[in-house]
Structure 1
Amino acid sequence: MATSYRDYTSPNTQFTYDMKNNLFFKKDDRNFIDALGIAQLNTLGNSSLLDIYLTTGNVVEPHIHQNAAELVYCIAGEAIVSLINPFTNQLLNYHIKPRQVANIPQGWWHYEMALTDDTHLLAIFDAPVPEVIFGSDILRLTPASVWAHTYCLDEAKVQETFAPLTQTVVIGPPVGCQQQGPLPDRAASSQYPYYGYSSHLPDSYGYYDTNYMQQGGYGQHPVYQQQTSYPQYGTNPSHTGYPPQPVYPSY
């Protein structure tokens, strides 16, 4: 807990908050994220929360928190929490059930996939305003020419592959995705080290035909595609996040 110099006699001091009033992102009525940061509860120390609801096969997309570690606690359902250990270059997959946790150190690449409907996760951060960089933004905002030149790829194929990424995904797959076939069986592949209680991921998953909706910055920003800086979970006068980024020709 950080040392606080707040005037606790002030009538503006907040000790409680209803997270339903701060929607961070909504894919549909069963896949959404509520958030709590110091902008919502001004007596918080070095802590904040994401309240995550997912159905089978939905994924909180690959991302990093550059200023915070994350502890993922499973309240209901089941999920795979995957992270890359940058010291060993291993992709680690942790299957968590209710009352179990997975920890992601600060700045590590990670993502979460629901294995059952009505999966409910609580993500706990050791920062009052955790920052985030989403994988979909890295993919879509880096010019295709840079990907092609750096990794000796076909630029036209890179452009075609990433063309559907027109905005930050947050919870994937996007509504209307036409992928075919089952989810990958990570436990059966030596490429993916696996830790947990189940032998495989679910065989299939469905989508919901509701409109794709999203709100960034703990409900502060209406749409991601209009942002020129990386989103944050809240507002803090002393912590404004990344400076505006240049507009790339391939947006």
Structure 2
Amino acid sequence: MTDAILQSPDLSLAADSNRVLNYKRDPQNYITQLFGPQFPAIKNGFFNVHVSKGIIVQPHWHTNVTEMVIVISGEVVTSVFNPFTQKLMTYCLKPGQVSLFPKGWFHWIICESDHAHILTVFDQPTPDIVYGSDFLRSIPKEVMQRAYCINEEDYAKAVAPIRESVILGPPPGCFQNTMGVQQAIYTGPYA
């Protein structure tokens, strides 16, 4: 078996995974990446995810990859929906612990500590990502009413704040603490 990349005279077997910023919510919550375009010799790919308490890697799924989450520092909760058992599988992870999201399974990650760092490693050099935010805002209110008997106007109002892909949430300014209860309040465009 011949691998043209490994035979290249320009071969490099090292790269800096901090050079390419994939997404930045704020200085404490951001994602960098290392995939095939940045490092041709890599046969997988990964995100460096830096998050703080209360931040969620939004619900999503991958059409072409299985994802492994490795906690480097901090604590996170991973959840994945098993389409075969119709049950949610949730794991509380600390440094050195791992969870897996099979290809096509809906999942998310919630940060439970400040300054958490996780790696999400994929079994292919570049993942396809379908964000729940895009899916929700794209479903016509009439379809939700017909499929689930959800009031059309209630659904339209509920998804109105989702104007673009949400990657790390909640959006800044979304929560307001009222009498000890967290309430979602949309206060402007997503950052």
1: CA distance between counterparts of 2:36 and 2:179? 41
Is the contact between residue 6 and residue 41 of structure 2 (CA under 8 Å) also seen in structure 1? no
Stretches of 4+ moved more than 6 A in 1? none
SS of 1:157's equivalent in the other structure is helix
Q: Does 1:133 align with 2:101?
A: no
2: CA distance between counterparts of 1:182 and 1:61? 26
Other-structure match for 2:115 = 118
Is the contact between residue 62 and residue 135 of structure 1 (CA under 8 Å) also seen in structure 2? yes
Is the contact between residue 27 and residue 212 of structure 1 (CA under 8 Å) also seen in structure 2? no
How much does 1:212 deviate?
5.1
Q: Does 1:157 align with 2:154?
A: yes
Other-structure match for 2:7 = 8
Cα deviations across residues 82-110 of structure 1 (Å, max 9, x unaligned)? Answer: 01111111111100000111111111110
Measured on the aligned residues, the alpha-carbon RMSD in Å equals 2.3
Distance 1:29 1:182, change over 3 A: farther
Which protein has greater RCO, CA pairs closer than 8 Å, 6+ apart? 1
Q: Does 1:30 align with 2:44?
A: no
Structure 1 length-normalised TM: 0.69
SS of 2:38's equivalent in the other structure is coil
Other-structure match for 1:55 = 52
Which of 76, 79, 83 lines up with 1:82 in the alignment?
79
Is the contact between residue 26 and residue 212 of structure 1 (CA under 8 Å) also seen in structure 2? no
SS of 2:156's equivalent in the other structure is helix
2: CA distance between counterparts of 1:16 and 1:116? 31
Aligned residues: 185
SS of 2:172's equivalent in the other structure is coil
Other-structure match for 1:143 = 140
How much does 1:179 deviate?
4.6
How much does 1:34 deviate?
0.5
Which of 85, 88, 92 lines up with 2:89 in the alignment?
92
SS of 1:156's equivalent in the other structure is helix
Amino acid at match of 2:88: L
SS of 1:38's equivalent in the other structure is coil
Distance 1:49 1:136, change over 3 A: same
How much does 1:182 deviate?
10
2: CA distance between counterparts of 1:176 and 1:37? 32
1: CA distance between counterparts of 2:96 and 2:69? 10
Structure 2 unaligned blocks of 5 or more: 183-188
Which of 14, 18, 21 lines up with 2:19 in the alignment?
21
Structure 1 unaligned blocks of 5 or more: 184-202, 205-210, 214-251
Distance 1:115 1:135, change over 3 A: same
1: CA distance between counterparts of 2:88 and 2:178? 23
